[in-house]
Amino acid sequence: MTPLLEVKNLHAEIDGKKILNGLDLVVNKGEVHAIMGPNGAGKSTLSYVLAGRDGYEVTEGDVLLNGESMLEMEPSERACKGVFLAFQYPMEIPGVATMTFLRAALNAQRKTRGEPELSSPDAIRKVKDVAGQLGINMDMLKRPVNVGFSGGEKKRAETMQMALLEPKLCLLDETDSGLDIDALKVVSEGVNRLRSPERGFVVITHYQRLLDHIVPDIVHVMSAGKIVRTGGKELAHELEASGYAQYQQEAA
Amino acid sequence: MGENVTANRTPAEIGLAEAFAQLDGKLPGNSDVKAKREEAFARFGSVGLPHRRVEAWHYTDLKSLQREALPLAAPPSAEAKTAAWNAQTLFAGLGARRLVIIDGTVVPALSDMDGLEPGLTVSTMAAALSEGDPFVASHLGTGRPVDDPAVELNTAFMGDGVVIRVAEGAVIERPIHLVFVATGDVPASTFVRSLVVVGNGAKLTLAESHQALGAAAYQPNIGLELVVGDDAQVDYVKCLRESTASQHLASFMTALGARAVFNHFSLTTGGAVVRNQLFLKLNGEGACVDIRGANLLRGNQHADTTLVADHLAPGCQAREVFKSVLADESRGIFQGKISVAPDAQKTDAKMMAQALLLSETAEFDSKPELEIFADDVQCGHGTTAGALDEDLRFYLMARGIPADEAESLLIQAFVGETLENIAHESLKSVLMSAVADWLQAGGASHA
């Protein structure tokens, strides 16, 4: 079976600084992978390289989505093929109405799948359904994208976008940062509802607490730009107890 | 200024002098009007076309930009009128009262001159000048800036235009639309002068659009004087979509009474060289102005917005926001001067000019000036210039929105602030579509 995501010996740098140093990762449909690691391990870089952000140069290796290399694709093409990055710091976009943004995203993705575009009322209905489940009211959607949202509201909005766009591969970059315990529950429940045999997740986090709510199948430890250890969900608890120090030494 | 002017006269200056000498009663007006024209032309002649060493025109060097003076436009033929009428599309679905000006001449047959609301009077400038209308004579030129060559030329050569009067207390719900169409068949210049006087407590919405049909070189010089009475309100929008064969000089002169409200928006997407001048005189206590504009340029377009706001009475409020979106080799200019007289205490004036540079070769020049003689005022200004935010672009693309559409959304968002205050919803949506049209026409990604 072709894996959903296959990262092979990935090397990447930014401004000549090497961040990823031969990272391997295989995610199959239906699996939830957690990537943990100390600050500076390259976790966020991995999420950006997978999503296609400008400024990162891949010097070696490949990234395959359902067997197809993504490295030459624009971020929008990757998104239309089912990659979704939930941002650690979602952007505020003054002047762009949230509904305009969501409808543009929905229709861009529908277009590449050969589906008819959604009319404005249809898009609003669809958004309303999904938003309601995450406790996002329509007043929030009337504001410009993420403008004036609290940290928790931004993360809920990210989860809402994810539910709306129904991606195949969800990348969650430090989704727990800036969340209090109640918001963490709401967001985790939103994510858990999306778990399905057809969908894979890569959950990037520094702390174990998110993984109490989004329970992973596989846990990886990342250090100095590569995976240094892989285990089951119990690995997360072990890390919480022992810290990352041993891995930092190993990598050095 | 003025040294060796006669020795260095350019072909354009010589052409203007010859054209003026040969006017010979071709333009409307009695001897008083003729004297006004002569005074204005003499003032122009003493300095000539402005050039980069003239501070107010530093970035728009008319002496080098206007190589020749084009002949005065002939009155439009019947065919030209039909063609112009069929082609004019801006604000067409608005239901506004349209006053149509083709090649500088008001065409009453195509204009909605009948069924005027009570309190509204509309006539042509040509008729008013010919008849020596005392009302027009007493108002014309009262808001004139000192020594502005564009205004002097407009006064010297003014041919036609509209005269609109709104009586005290009259609220005119139906917008009035000044439809400027250039046939563009042969190279021509036009000098349109209009006067709008809105009485105390009256209310008017005024729209102005400029289109050109053909591609012949075209030099419109537009003058509009607006007098807003005490407690009156005027909402004004302008949309300039002439061809890139146009060198458009527009001078907007406004005098505001006590507690008068004036909202202004101007969108420029057309023209090769555009200079939009706004001269504001806040004469009455507590007047309130909101002046916004957007210039969207590509290719070699050059658009200069020059604003002079004179705060002459206490307690006036002014908000000024101008945005430029500059692609290719285009050049945007903003000059804004806020001047506060000694008596204009409690003035509250804020001015902002921002540019989005879509290419390495686009240029934005911004010159804000504050001249404050009162000691209890709040005045501020700001300028920014930069490229599209890459982080925002990535965020939109990460949701599947293609690069060009992501850029369009961000550009519309940037421009959006200048449109948000337009009260008339249909006017606002027409202008938003005009912005979208501009984006569509160029493809933002390689614009």
Q: What is the pLDDT of residues A167-191, one digit of tens each?
A: 999 999 999 888 888 889 988 999 9
Which pair of structure tokens corresponds to residue A248?
């930092």
Note whether A95 contacts B417, CB cutoff 8 Å. Answer: yes
Q: Are B168 and B174 in contact (CB under 8 A)?
A: no
- Distance from the Cα of B268 to chain A's closest Cα (Å) equals 20
Closest of B113, B266, B83 to residue B182, by C-alpha = B83
B416 at the A interface (CB within 8 A)? Answer: yes
For the four alpha carbons of B74, B80, B81 and B87, in that order, the dihedral sign comes to negative
Non-local (6+) Cβ contacts of B137 within 8 A are: B32, B33
> What are the chain B neighbours of A161 within 8 Å (beta carbons)?
399
User: Which residues in chain A have their CB less than 8 angstroms from residue B406's CB?
Assistant: 76
User: Are B395 and A93 inside 8 Å of each other by CB?
Assistant: yes
Report in angstroms the alpha-carbon separations of B305 from A63, B295, B350: 50, 9, 16
**Side chain identity at A200, as an amino acid letter?**
G
All residues of chain B having their beta carbon less than 8 Å from the beta carbon of residue A90 are 395
Inter-chain residue contact A74 with B405, CB threshold 8 Å? no
B373 has a chain A CB within 8 A of its CB: no
Rounded to whole angstroms, the Cα distance separating B219 from B246 reads 6
CA atoms within 13 A on the CB side of B121: 14
Q: A76 vs B403: CB contact, 8 Å cut-off? A: yes
**Total residues found in chain B within this entry:** 447
| pLDDT computed for residue B443 by the predictor | 53
Tens of pLDDT, residues B345-390:
999 999 999 999 999 999 999 999 999 999 999 999 999 999 999 9
- A95·B395 Cβ contact <8 A: no
Contact A101 B392 (CB under 8 A): no
Query: Is there a contact between A75 and B409 if contact means CB atoms under 8 Å apart?
Result: no
| Averaged pLDDT, A143-161 | 92
Q: What is the pLDDT of residues A238-247, one digit of tens each?
A: 888 888 888 8
Residue ranges of chain B with per-residue pLDDT less than 70: 1-7, 443-447
Contact B215, B231 (CB under 8 A): no
Confidence bin at A249 (pLDDT 50/70/90): low
Nearest-by-Cβ selection for A75 from B392, B398, B413: B398
Chain mean pLDDT for chain A:
93
State the burial class of residue A24 (Cβ atoms within 10 Å of its Cβ: 0-12, 13-18, 19+).
middle
Q: What is the pLDDT of residues B379-427, one digit of tens each?
A: 999 999 999 999 999 999 999 999 999 999 999 999 999 998 899 999 9
pLDDT given at position B195:
98
- Over residues A81-96, the mean pLDDT reads 95
Rounded Cα distance, B411 and B34, in Å? 48
The top-level CATH class assigned to A5-251 is alpha beta
Interface of A with B (CB under 8 A): 51-54, 74-76, 78-80, 84-85, 87, 90-91, 93-96, 100-101, 104-105, 108-109, 112, 144, 161, 165
Q: What ipTM describes this predicted complex? A: 0.96
Asked if the Cβ–Cβ distance from B400 to A80 is below 8 Å, we say: yes
> Mean of the pLDDT values across residues A218-245?
91
Q: Does B396 touch chain A (CB under 8 A)?
A: yes
Q: In angstroms, what separates the C-alpha of A95 from chain B's closest C-alpha?
A: 4
Euclidean distance between CA atoms A216 and A31, whole angstroms: 8
User: To the nearest 10°, the Cα dihedral for B142, B343, B285, B139?
Assistant: -10
Would the CB atoms of B402 and A74 count as touching at under 8 Å?
yes
Q: Choose the closest CB to B400 out of A53, A105, A144.
A: A105
Residue from B323, B392, B397 whose CB has the most chain A CBs within 10 Å, to mutate: B397
The residue-averaged pLDDT of A72-78 equals 97
Q: Which of B399, B403, B410 sits opposite A105 (nearest CB)?
A: B399
> What is the residue extent of each domain of chain B?
388-446
CA of A241 vs chain B CAs: smallest distance (Å): 36
Is B390 within 8 Å of B332 (Cβ atoms)?
no
Question: Three-class SS of residue A49?
Answer: helix
For chain A, say whether B404 makes contact (Cβ under 8 Å).
Answer: no
On chain B, the residues whose CB falls within 8 A of the CB of A54 are 390, 394
Residue B121 structure tokens: 């009077």
Cα of B33 to nearest chain A Cα, Å: 49
Token pair 């007493």 is found at B138
